[in-house]
Structure 1
Amino acid sequence: MTQPLSKFGSITFATILLAFSILLVLHKPLPPGLCEKSTVDRVVIHLFEPILRAFYYYPANYIFTTPANQIWWTRYSLGLLAKTMGPVTLFERHLVRVTDATWNGVHVRTYEPRLVENSTDGAVIFIHGGGFAIGSVAMYDSLTRRMAKSMNTFVVSIDYRLSPETVFPENLLDCEKAIDYFLENSLEKFKIDPKKVILVGDSAGGNLATAIAQRRAEKGAEPKLLAQVLLYPLLQLVDLQMTSYRYFHKRLTGIAFVDPASVAFYYMLYAGIPLEKAKELVPIVLTNGHVKPDYREKIDKLLTYRTTIESTHTYNTTKIPKRWEIVENSEAQNLLEKVIFDPNFSPIMRENLENLPKSLIVTCEYDVLRDEGLIYSERLMASGVPTKLINYKNGYHAMLNMHNEITEASTCLDDVMHWILEQF
């Protein structure tokens, strides 16, 4: 005769059953190819994505429905989740000296390897992502710490001010101020060769890094950056109907990855559009209705590689929806006209890309921003800039934030660090 479960056993069984039921309810099938390089990766992302959706995505979209509360919850929830990713051990604290400082009025965090003298004589300056409205040096601490430790290289992480409290171009200028301070003082204060500085940025940070590299090249600023690394960069707000955007609408809607609506919303906040108005205009921007017809010829010229992407990057023969009808809106066009063609805001809009530093561009197949990274790399190469492009066929946007949990992300980070060390 079987014995009944003990009280502890009953609670354990009920907890497991409840957890399984919740995951079953939250489960959404992920597209084939995403994180399929590793079975473990696929399992981890299947477990993590529902948690991200339940903890961040659903509350932000269905509970904290006002734009201001939405931003507050997104910052709070993702900040908490970041603390669970790649915790720092006591041993690691002895390997890297971490210092918070203020340079030209901008908060930065520096990472200096403790045990071995900087073998490269150079430095990495990192600009974090988060749609210009989310993120901090603390959220990226695990990533930047690993870069400093693994490359035995000095790393600077910039804590620029965020939108909507601070808007374009002030966020960009924060980064420039910090970079200028470092380049002016690198040799005397940090024993770093100012000619061996590499600028790295991910997502919106990739936008800021791209704009800064362009601005320095245009001015002929000295010392020149040794190289730039753009990790799944956000580069434009003129075409939100590219292939990667349309694929997201077909296959990834409702999954807690960076989505077209968030790109449009946060980019408009960076442009200085008020919260409620930005929320209202998102559906217009998603159709490209914010772009005056007069500019479409210019866009076609600068984004000409789009036609190649249409035929060569087809997501395992998944049928991509055709472009949908543009919903013209004169208010959106008038509000955004001044910024969306400004290369300091949309770096892909800069016509002359000559004399830029050697570049590494990382894109991910399952990323709404994939196509603009591909286009920019093609334009850099056409302009004579030594450029390496790596498109991770199983990757997704912001995967480096899971560099300790996902093999594909760890491999990507290793590839990036290897390329950086080659430049030094």
Structure 2
Amino acid sequence: MKFRGPPARGSPVVDGSLMAIFHQWLGYDHYIITLRRYTEGPESDTGVFAGVKVSDVMFAGIPVRVYEPPAGGLRRGLMYYHGGGFALCSGKKGSYDATNRMLSEELDTVVVSVESCLKSLQYEPLGPQCVCVSPEILAKYAVDPERVAVSGDSAGGNLAAAVAQEISTDDSMSVKFSVQALIYPALQGLDINTPSYIENQYAPSLNPSIMVQFWLQYLNADLSLEPQLLVNNHSALRHSPLTPELRSRVDWTTLLPEKYKKNHKPLIVENGSPEILKEVPGLLDVRAAPLLASPEVLAKLPRTYIITCEHDVLRDDGLMYARRLQDAGVMVTNDHYEDGFHGCFSLVMWPVDFDVGKRMLRGYISWLQKNL
């Protein structure tokens, strides 16, 4: 299937969103609950498939699914956070499960898929994630401590970036990630009017309204704040704890390549609603907004791979992060897909398979093969 624009009606992504909006409007169920029920397929079984052993275990109280390739010396290790707005999808179902099996087999990699959702991963307790790279766990699964990666897509890319930052600056951690691979990551909620948010405001796969709802739910905030965030009232100049230094870390006018700025103008509100940042402090917390990390933190991060898509509200988050990492001296590869849209990395299985998604997956695997 060749892609020539965002997915049209008739795909599970779009139909699920429409049904979820309708159910919430009727008062039948919450948007997220309906969308999760509509888009998730059946859970895949554990066992041995094509030589890959699959098992469901708990790491520090967090459910994970482990994929082990056939035994034979030390293997690579990959810690993966699936996308879904911190609330949807499961690493045990559909394309996520299939992709992790493929990664484990093709890369001879032990893949640890973390069940990242609202119930198990709030932005505060990232510490338990570190157990995945503890010497004990790595030894148990015969993982080479010099070849461990962290990765994720969308909201999972946010979690992967946050965990990478935390581990890179934690002197008590003897094992550090050797690479990070982020697929159209969500990295900040302060500017909902970047060029990519404006250009893709009607995108069916992910629009600004839905992304803001995801942010508010993840940060345990009142959903009634959505209209304020959509017009950047939360990042107003007056009385804002968002200092000029922090603003510079999300300033797309200096961080984006010229081709993506076009004729857009930054939306900077003078008064707005500055109290929002006090009500929702997570918007300023680097554990929730990795793009806000200081240059000193970024400089400690490993080689980085970032996928961005043209038809995606999160495009500029990834592009700005790539620029900030490069400025901090980190080796960065940014693969940008002009025909890509948010979510296409997971749309690689019949009957909803897109050519761009397949190319993206092959490029991701190829980069890991060479760099991990």
Give TM-score scaled by structure 2 length: 0.87
2:37 counterpart residue number: 76
Q: Which amino acid aligns with 1:301?
A: S
Partner of 2:233: 289
- What are the equivalent positions in structure 2 for 1:7-22 lying under 5 Å apart? none
Q: What is the alpha-carbon distance in structure 2 between the residues aligned to residue 42 and residue 413 of structure 1?
A: 15
Partner Cα separation in structure 1 for residue 275 and residue 249 of structure 2? 25
Residue 10 (structure 2) aligns with: 50
Q: Structure 2 counterpart of 1:262, which letter?
A: I
1:369 matched to 2:369: no
Q: Which of the pair is proportionally richer in helix?
A: 1
Displacement after TM superposition at 1:109 (Å):
0.5
What percent identity do the matched residue pairs reach?
A: 26
- Whole-angstrom distance in 2 between the partners of 1:348 and 1:45: 26
Taking structure 1 as the reference length, what is the TM-score of the superposition?
Answer: 0.77
Match of 1:141 among 69, 88, 97: 97
Q: Is the 8 A contact 1:202 1:232 kept in 2?
A: yes
Provide the rounded CA distance (Å) in 2 between the counterparts of 1:45 and 1:243. Answer: 17
Q: What CA distance in whole angstroms lies between the structure 2 residues aligned with 1:402 and 1:137? A: 14
Aligned AA for 2:260?
H
CA distance in 2: counterparts of 1:57 and 1:342, whole angstroms: 29
- Letter matched to residue 146 of structure 1: M
CA distance in 1, matches of 2:169, 2:267: 37
Give CA-to-partner distance per residue, 1:114-168, whole Å, 9 cap, x none. 4xx45772111111111111122123212212211222322110113x22x4663
Q: Which residue is 2:336 aligned to?
A: 391
Aligned equivalent of 2:23, options 41, 63, 82 = 63
Choose from 203, 211, 224 the match for 2:176.
Answer: 224
1:98 maps to which of 54, 68, 71:
54
**1:301 corresponds to which of 225, 245, 248:** 248
**Residue 423 of structure 1: CA displacement?**
2.0
1:299-357 deviation per Cα after TM superposition (whole angstroms, max 9, x unaligned): 4411344346373126xxxx766556848235534312x22111111111111311111
Give the AA of the match of 1:137.
Answer: G
Pairing 1:239–2:191 present: yes
> Offset at 1:181?
4.1
Shift in alpha-carbon separation, 1:150–1:366, aligned structure 2, 3 A: same
1:150 and 2:106 correspond: yes
Quick check: 1:41 aligned with 2:2? yes
- 2:82 is aligned, of 116, 128, 137, to 128
Contact 1:200 1:228 in 2 (8 A): yes
Greater Cα shift, 104-113 or 291-300: 291-300
Choose from 267, 274, 277 the match for 2:215.
Answer: 267
Alpha carbons of structure 1 residues 45 and 340: separation in structure 2 relative to 1, 3 Å: closer
**Matched-pair contact (CA < 8 Å) for 1:206–1:233:** yes
Deviation at 1:182, TM superposition (A): 4.4
Relative distance call for 1:45 and 1:246 in structure 2 (3 A) is: closer
SS in 2 for 1:110: strand
Distance in 1 separating the partners of 2:254 and 2:50: 51
* 2:276 corresponds to: 332
* Aligned counterpart in structure 1 of residue 287 of structure 2, from 341, 344, 368: 344
CA distance in 2 between partners of 1:208 and 1:270 (Å): 11
State the 1:287 CA deviation: 0.8
The question of whether the paired residues in 2 share the 8 Å contact of 1:108 and 1:156 is answered with yes
* Structure 1 unaligned spans of 5+: 1-39
Quote the offset at 1:373 in angstroms: 0.5
SS in 2 for 1:146: helix
Question: Is contact 2:67-2:101 (8 Å) kept?
Answer: yes
Q: How far does residue 209 in structure 1 lie from its aligned partner after superposition?
A: 0.9
Q: Which string of whole-angstrom CA distances, capped at 9 and with x for unpartnered residues, describes residues 44-79 of structure 1?
A: 976x64333663122211222359621110110111
1:178-210, CA deviations, whole angstroms, 9 ceiling, x for partnerless residues? 441443324431111122111011111111111
2:151 pairs with one of 195, 200, 211: 200
Is the Cα–Cα contact under 8 Å of residues 287 and 325 in structure 1 kept in the other structure? Answer: no
Structure number, greater radius of gyration: 1
Q: Which residue of 2 aligns with 1:13?
A: none
Q: Is the 8 A contact 1:248 1:368 kept in 2?
A: yes
Instruction: List runs of 5+ in structure 2 lacking aligned partners.
Output: none
Residue deviations 1:16-59, cap 9 Å, x none?
Answer: xxxxxxxxxxxxxxxxxxxxxxxx3238976x643336631222
Q: In proportion to residue count, which structure has more strand?
A: 2
1:168 is aligned to 2:122: yes
Q: Which amino acid counterpart does residue 284 of structure 2 have in structure 1? A: F
Q: Are residues 303 and 325 of structure 1, via their aligned partners in 2, closer, same or farther at CA, if it must alter by over 3 Å?
A: closer
